[in-house]
Structure 1
Amino acid sequence: MQVCLFLIGASQQQSLPDIAPLQGTDGLRSLVVHEPIAQRVDPRIAPAGDAPSCVLQLYFDELAALEAAAGPGGPIHRALREPLTAGRFMQQVMAVRALLPPGPPAQARVQRCTYLVAYEGPAEDFNTWLAHYMQHHAPLMSTLPALREMEIYTRIDCTSGLPCARVDAMQRNKVVFDDASALADALASPVRESMRRDFHDLPPYRGLTPHFAMRSTYGNLATH
């Protein structure tokens, strides 16, 4: 199972960090950069005013490789030193459950549109929560029209030397489409209505569930 480092940019940040120095990081298999889109795509949920300025997803095949890259003075810290030390990012490492094929493997840059969701939690009983989600909600989500990718992320413990605050969402999801129009059509579909009904049957939990529509740029950085 892959692991993913989420680096979540503060909402007031104005520019993307230079990610070119991450090229060649040992064990880094792929990188996705998400930037918010202004248009409203969800008829049920208004765009959040505190959307992150960007979200970086760094995928590794092994936790040990991620921990090494995120260690004190490691390649992630060296590559992104200024925005990390300036407090412009928060971090979380999560296990990846890819329920549809992963993103584009091409070396060339590819753009898609993503809906990122976080369940901040906690749940009263996380085992019951996750079992219901995987057995009932995820299968519904996987039938959204024109869906290209779908991943569910859950927390894992790890070490990190990155000088930025940690966040602790109990679960994250993403669904990916070719463009914002395809995402909007999916969110207006009957499948979404079924998902909303099931949402009200989820086991008890607390915390917010922010939803963010993002423009996503893929780059395959695998070198090993």
Structure 2
Amino acid sequence: MTFALVMFWQGGDALTEAGRGKLRALLGGLPGVERSILYTPAKASDLYTDDGAGPGLGVQIEAPSLEALEAACAADGALQALADPDFLPELAGAQADQQMFVLRRYPVDEAQMQTPAGEIACSYVVHYPGPAQDYNAWMTHYIAGHPPIMRRFPGIRGIEILTRCDWISALPFARAGHMQRNRVLFDSPVALTAALHSPVRHEMRADFHTFPPFEGGNYHFPMSTEVV
């Protein structure tokens, strides 16, 4: 099983190359962590949605145990550096949130990235704040129906569904309570746009209209994606 700590920052300035380097070093040195993902804004087009500007920065930290993530978030944990305005001055004034999840991965037919020169991989990150009227019915329907359709997107390289769990953290960031977050991965923003304008996008929309009742809507953001 894999767990993920997800943090997003709204506001602040764009991450500088120096800041990116410091963040890479911090994330790469976390004990017990399998990998981390660094998200920054990207541009892509969707046939059905335009949710405006996404978060200025996002981080997804993955580990085989919840305890490893909780240790990083402890009062003496390494991630406390993110709350220090001197560590990443570009985040001064930004508002951050945090949430831990169970991370579920689903198969794709071609997982090997083929990112063009000068491009960076691109994720479509989707937030479902919730709540659902019946969370079990919601998850049963979503997991059974949506990933098989996602798999048919041309050029898709990865599918993840993140579902809520309880966690301990001493980070001084707001605690989000999304019922679910998703991520689909592509070689570039161009590849993501091509997928979101393909016939599969119509299938996704049709399935969306069969979802069990839920509140809170959903939000879609293209994010450049760097694995640390």
- TM-score bracket, shorter-length normalisation: 0.7 to 0.9
**Distance between the aligned counterparts of 2:79 and 2:227, measured in 1?**
18
**Distance between the aligned counterparts of 1:103 and 1:35, measured in 2?**
22
- Of the three residues 10, 27, 34, the one matched with 1:22 is 27
Most deviating of 136-145 and 76-85 = 76-85
- After superposition, the C-alpha distances for 1:79-108 in whole angstroms (9 at most, x for unaligned) are 55336896631101111001137898xxxx
1:28 Cα deviation after fit: 1.6
Unpaired runs of 5+ in structure 2? 114-118
* Counterpart for residue 222 of structure 1: none
Provide closer, same or farther for how the CA distance between residues 22 and 34 of structure 1 changes in structure 2, counting only shifts above 3 A: closer
1:15 Cα deviation after fit: 3.2
Alignment of 1:184 onto 2:193: yes
In the comparison of the two structures, how many residue pairs are matched?
Answer: 211
Alignment of 1:115 onto 2:104: no
- Of the three residues 198, 222, 226, the one matched with 1:213 is 222
Identity %: 36
* Counterpart for residue 48 of structure 1: 52
- 1:71 partner letter: A
Secondary structure of the structure 2 residue equivalent to 1:28: coil
- 2:159 partner letter: M
- 1:72 partner letter: A
8 Å CA contact 1:103–1:149 kept in 2: the answer is no
8 Å CA contact 1:67–1:159 kept in 2: the answer is yes
**Distance between the aligned counterparts of 2:130 and 2:214, measured in 1?**
6
Unpaired runs of 5+ in structure 1? 105-109, 220-224
* Counterpart for residue 107 of structure 1: none
- Of the three residues 142, 152, 156, the one matched with 1:133 is 142
- 1:6 partner letter: V
8 Å CA contact 2:141–2:211 kept in 1: the answer is yes
The alignment yields a C-alpha RMSD, in angstroms, of: 2.1
Secondary structure of the structure 2 residue equivalent to 1:33: strand
8 Å CA contact 2:128–2:217 kept in 1: the answer is yes
- Of the three residues 66, 89, 93, the one matched with 2:100 is 93
